[in-house]
Amino acid sequence: MSHPARWKRLVPLALAAALAVGVGGQVQAAAPPDPKAEAYANDELIQLLRVNTPTAADKQRLSTLDLDLAESAGKRFVDVVAYGNHDRRLLELAGLTWSTLEDDLQGAEREREKADAAYAKAVQNKAVAATLPSGRTAYRQLADYTGNMAALAAQYPTKVKQFTLRNNSLENRPIRGIEVTRDVNASNGKPVFLMLGLHHAREWPSGELTMEFAYDLLKNDGVDPRITNILDKARVIFVPVVNPDGFNLSRTLGYEMKRKNCRITNGQLPTTGQCAQSANFSRGTDLNRNYSGFWGGPGASTSLTSETYRGASAFSEPESRNVQALVSAHQVTTLITNHTYSNLVLREPGYAGAGPTPDEAIYKALGDQMAAQNGYDSQFSYELYDTTGTTEDWSYYATGGLGFTFEHGANSFHPAFSNVVNYYFGSGSTAGKGNRSAFLLAAESTINPARHSVVTGSGPAGAVLRLKKSFTTKTWNGTQLPDVLDSTMVVPAGGTYTWHTNPSTRPTVVQQGGTESWTLTCERPTGQVLETRQVTVARGASVTANLTTCAANF
């Protein structure tokens, strides 16, 4: 993975003068100039370093430097993207040591482009077979994702429904997803498995794997009995690109290490082209710190130029609000948010102090089962470092749906494309260990009623049933933010319904021995409510609600 350095210009330590070592050995960087912009402007090396952190104090010291940390597989090290001399100097001044995983990330990027071109050519010449479900041989660009989803919807009109998320991105791009199930236009109460990609712009395989699983389900429905069963019984929702602005910049506009979104100034939309200016490379909100669950706690930064900037407030960003709205409007009983890298299957809690979840037994069982398939380590999210405001820090505690972060790959955010094939199938470098079978298990777990709840009964055909719950989600400083879960289904022709849902009681309330209920309403399609019931249902349980008043008046 090492490449000979092309330019190893030693920039005189003018930058070092911008560093101050404060009392207690605390190292602080003065604000401007932006080290990333400087590193690019001066052709300094951008490197991937494995920083030794044998003790918690080392990890703590490293985290105060506000460098670009990657998730990493070892307990005794943290990988860092170091932008030029400035970042290496910060590490030195903090007394940290490291080994070099990649001494020239920009050089590696050019190598990757060459390798990808060669791979595509080999497929074209039939020297190797294109094996991904879609047949793709190179990383998608943003337009490919959009085009692929539209094409799937056109090809499989009864199994694929395209939708646009509630908000456009900061750069005003619509964000698209697809729902996949048999008879997709019927609102039929199936349990929902949600798969997300590309919260983080540079993590290209996270979008690829998401998209390929959608292709696989559609291609092999009626061929592979496991997939046929999944399409029969679950609704699988895909949003392959949560962060299109960042991804577009990373994939096509010359800043491939972009991680965050395009928030350049708090409270303001970016102007055209502003996000792509090198002076703004460090700016943006980390969407995976912007969710409301424990927002503002450890493992997130208050600085707009930090790679883990949490945003001006919880859900300040349209892109994270999109996921919130999507999850709040469906009974998402299983969620996988794909990231790179480190070969991990992560479950809640995201910070150690939260304590074990009340669902640890089944949460761990599912994580371990999936990890047995893809060969990753199955562990708590906090085991490497605490984080707060991540997707599942909100989604799990708000809905009880079992949410996982998958960190794909050994040591690169977007390695040569042929690796994506291996990640998916468990071939080549990852022989026998693939994500396809892990994803299938997640979909099958979604179907398993022991892992969610069921509300069933009789009701008038055509009536709209609604499950609603209002509560507050607590941020780190104790602020209570309103949350509303509100999903619907339609009673089928036979006059009985089965609705696969999340438990009515949230995990933290379960932990305290309390209960919560869903408010179930039976409505005319016009919205007129004919019957209202309180429904309390635990995980693994089923309750019956016969909507006789509604039936009598429908």
Cβ-based burial of 163 (10 A; exposed 0-12, middle 13-18, buried ≥19): middle
Which listed residue (181, 210, 306, 405) binds ligand 0X9 by CB under 6 A? 405
User: Which of the residues 267 through 326 are near ligand 0X9 (CB under 6 A)?
Assistant: 288
The verdict on whether 92 is a catalytic residue reads no
The one catalytic residue among 407, 444, 523, 531: 407
Site for ligand 0X9 in 185-224 (CB under 6 A): 200, 203
Beginning with the edge strand found earlier in the chain, give each strand of the sheet holding 344-347 in spatial order: 160-164, 176-180, 235-239, 192-196, 332-340, 402-408, 344-347, 377-380
Does the protein bind ligand 0X9 through residue 381 (CB under 6 A)?
A: yes
- Residues in 502-531 that interact with ligand 0X9 by CB under 6 A: none
> Given the complex with ligand 0X9, which of 413 and 417 has the nearer CB atom?
413
d(CA 203, CA 233): 31
Binding residues (CB under 5 A) for Zn ion: these are: 200, 203, 339
Contacted by 405, from Zn ion, ligand 0X9, none: CB < 5 to 8 Å by type: ligand 0X9
Helix runs in 256-317, H state only: none
Q: How far is the CB of 187 from ligand 0X9 (least distance, A)?
A: 33
Minimum distance, C-beta of residue 339 to Zn ion, in the bound complex (Å): 3
> Whole-number minimum distance, CB 391 to ligand 0X9, in Å?
8
Helix (H) or strand (E) holding 368: helix 360-374
DSSP 415-475: --THHHHHHHHT-GGGTT--HHHHHHHHHHHHH-GGGSEEEEEE--TTPEEEEEEEEEEE-
Which of 204/382 has CB closer to ligand 0X9?
382
Binders of ligand 0X9: how many residues, by CB under 6 A? 16
Q: What are phi and psi of 92, to 5 degrees?
A: -60, -50
Q: How far apart, in whole angstroms, are the C-alpha atoms of residue 291 and residue 479?
A: 13
Contact 106, 87 (CB under 8 A): no
Choose, by CB under 6 A, the member of 244, 350, 358, 459 that binds ligand 0X9: 350
* CB 353, min distance to ligand 0X9, A: 12
- 301: number of Cβ within 10 Å: 15
Nearest distance from C-beta of residue 288 to ligand 0X9, angstroms: 4
Token pair of 73, please? 């597989």
Nearer residue to Zn ion within complex by CB, 83 or 119: 83
Q: Which of 51, 70, 276, 535 binds ligand 0X9 (CB under 6 A)?
A: 70
Location of structure tokens 């990988």: 79
**What are the distances in angstroms from CA 389 to CA 179, 317, 538?**
26, 12, 26
Q: Which sequence positions are flagged as catalytic?
A: 407
Which positions touch ligand 0X9 (CB under 6 A)?
Answer: 70-71, 200, 203, 288, 339, 346, 350, 381-382, 384-385, 387, 390, 405, 407
